[in-house]
Structure 1
Amino acid sequence: MPITEDFSHHIDAVIDIARSAGQLILDIYEKKEYQAFTKSDETPVTSADIAAHKFITEQLSELTPDIPVLSEEDADISLEKRSQWDRYWLVDPLDGTQEFIARSGDFATIIALVENNKPIMGVVYGPVSGVTYYAYQGKGAWKIPDMSERVAIHSHNHDGQSSPIAIAISRRQDINRITSRMSSAWNYDLVPLGSAALKACLVAEGAVDCYLRLGPTGEWDTAATQCIVEEAGGRILSTQLEPLSYNERDTLENPNFIVLGDEGLPWDEILKIKD
C-alpha cells in the first residue's frame, strides 16, 4: 500500500516529545532516585523507563489520536491486532537501560513512525549529550547538536583497505564475538558505546563505518535509526543481508543485524557477516 499522507509536519512536535521525555529521564538519572526491576525476559527496566513510556504514549496519542502506539514497555499486543495497523508509532522510551543503571550516559529516547511495515520517520535523542538525530522518508537525515542549528548528516564512503574499518561495538557484548569475524586482510578500529540507537546514528553521521549487532534487540531498537541511516545513505540489514521488517511476525524480536555506512564494501569478507 502506498503512503497516503505526509506526516513530516509532525516532526518538530515529535522531536519536542522525545526531548521532553529525555529531560524527564535525565532528571531521574541525575537525582539517582529510581527503582530497577527485571522483566520476564530477564532484561532490566527502571522507573525512568516507565515514566518516559507513559509520557511519550500520552503525548503521541494526543498529537495523532488515530495512530496507535507500540512501546517496548507495553508490547503485549497480538499480531492479529497489530496486522490491522497501516501505520503506528514504535517507541523505545529508554534505549540503553543497562547504561542508565551503570551511569555511562549512553542511553537514548527513540520514536519512529512505521507505515506499511517500513519506518518513515525516526527521532533519536540522547539526554546526556543533548544531541538529536532525526529523519523523514525522502527528506534527508539531520543532527541537532545540543539545541544548536540542524546539520545534514551523511554516512561515510570508505576508501578501501588503505584506512581502518571503524566498528561501533556494545560495551556489554563479548568482544570476541566481533573480533572472531574479522579478516587479517583488513585493519579495524573498535568504538565502544552503549545505546544501540546511538551506535547506529554514529554510522549515519559518518563517524564509524558499521555497527554489527549480535544478540537480542526489539523492533523498537532499530525502526527510527533505520529511517535515519537510510536517509543518510546507509543501510540496516540482517546478517543474511536482507532488509529488516516491522510488524510482520508474532515476535517483535529482531534478527542479528548490521548497520552499514557504505554498502558497496565487501562486508561478508570484512566481517564474515552471514550467520
Structure 2
Amino acid sequence: MFLSSLLEPIKTAAKEAGDRLWQLYQSGDYQQETKDDQSPVTSADLAANDIIMQHLQVLTPTIPIISEEVQLLPLAKRQHWPRYWLIDPMDGTQEFVARSGDFAVSIALVEHGWPALGVIYWPKEQVLYYATRGHGAFKQQGSKIRRIQVHQHQQPDPLRVAVSRRQAREPIEQLLPHGQQVHYIPLGSCSLKSCLVAEGSADCYVRLGPTGEWDTGAVHIIVEEAGGKILDSSFAPLSYNQRESLANPNFVVMGQADLPWPQLIQPQ
C-alpha cells in the first residue's frame, strides 16, 4: 500500500520535471557547464532537480534523497538508510545538448538495498514507464496504459541489441559471438535503452562505460517487473548504496530470462 500510494505523485513529479526540460530544450534558454568528470551538466538539469526535490520533500519529508545533481553524503552517513529516493533529473544530458530529444527523467525508491519503485518519463514522446515491486511494469502515453513484458526471443531470429547513438559500436560487437545475427537499435539515454528491453522492443542492452546508480535504479525495477534482469558484465547482481562511490560497473540489461546470456554476450 505504501508503494502504491507513492506511484501517482511520483509520476506527476517526473512529468512536471520532464515538461520543464522540454520547455528549456525547445527554447534553448539554458547554460551548459562541464563537471569534474568531464560530463556535461546544464541549468536544465538543475531546474528539473529542483522540481523533483520539492515534490519529494513535501511527499515524504523523512525519506532522504540521493540525486546526481546534489553532493553525495559520505557512506557512513547513508549506508544504514532503510529507504531513500534515487534520482537522475535528466538522464541523457548529452542527448539534450546534441538535440536528439532522447533524454528522460528517472526517479526510484530504494528499499533495503534494492529498487522497489521506478518511474521514467520521456518528454519528447510524453511517455511514462513505471513499476512497483510485485505489481508489474507499465507504459503510459496519454490515457493509454498497457502492461509491458520482455520479448520472447526465437532462434534463429537476430538478437536485437539497443545501442548508443553516439558511442562506438565496435566494443559491443566484440562481445557477441562470431556468426550471431544482430539487429542494432540506436537510441540515446541509458534509461530509455533499458526501457526498450522492458517493453520488448529490444532483446538486450550492453552498457560499457561510466554510469551511476541513478542511471539504473528506476529502470532496474521496471525491467525486473517486465520479466528481465540487469546484471554486471560478469553476470553478478548490481548493488545500491554499498560503496563510497555510486559508480556502476559495466552492465547488461537482459530480456528473456532463460536465454543463455553468458554465451550470447561474452565479456572480455
5+ residue gaps, structure 1:
none
Matched, 1:154 2:154: no
Q: Which amino acid aligns with 1:133?
A: Y
RMSD, aligned CA: 1.0
Picking from 230, 239, 244, the partner of 1:250 is: 244
**Post-superposition offset of 1:174:** 1.4
Name the SS for the 1:150 alignment partner.
Answer: strand
Aligned to 1:16: 12
Structure 2 regions of 5+ residues with no counterpart?
A: none
Instruction: Give the equivalent residue in structure 2 for 1:144.
Output: 140
Under a length normalisation based on structure 1, what TM-score does the superposition of the two structures give?
0.95
Match of 2:160 among 160, 166, 182: 166
Give the TM-score, by structure 2 length: 0.98
Aligned-pair CA distance for 1:266: 1.8
Distance 2:170 2:143 in 1: 39
Distance 1:154 1:193 in 2: 19
- The correspondence for 1:199, drawn from 193, 199, 220, is 193
C-alpha distance in 2 between matches for 1:192 and 1:270: 19
1:83-122 matches, within 5 Å, as: 83-122=79-118
1:87-140 per-position Cα deviation (integer Å, ceiling 9, x unaligned): 000000000000000000000000000011100000000001101000000000
Residue 240 of structure 1: CA displacement?
Answer: 1.0
Give 1:239 deviation, angstroms: 0.6
1:113-132 paired onto structure 2 within 5 Å: 113-132=109-128
Letter in 2 for 1:70: I
In 1, the alpha carbon distance for the partners of 2:131 and 2:228 equals: 13
1:51 aligned to which of 25, 28, 47? 47
1-structure distance, mates of 2:208, 2:255: 18
The answer as to 2:136 corresponding to 1:135 is no
Report the Cα distance in structure 1 between the residues aligned to 2:187 and 2:82, rounded to whole angstroms: 34
Aligned length: 268
Identity of counterpart residues, as a percentage? 49
User: Which residue identity is paired with 1:93?
Assistant: P
Give the AA of the match of 1:100. Answer: F
State the secondary structure of the residue aligned to 2:129: strand
- Distance in 1 (alpha carbons) for counterparts of 2:200 and 2:71: 32
Q: Does 1:214 align with 2:205?
A: no
- Please name the residue that 1:270 is paired with: 264
The 3-state SS of whatever aligns with 1:90 is strand
Cα distance, 1:257 vs. partner?
A: 0.2
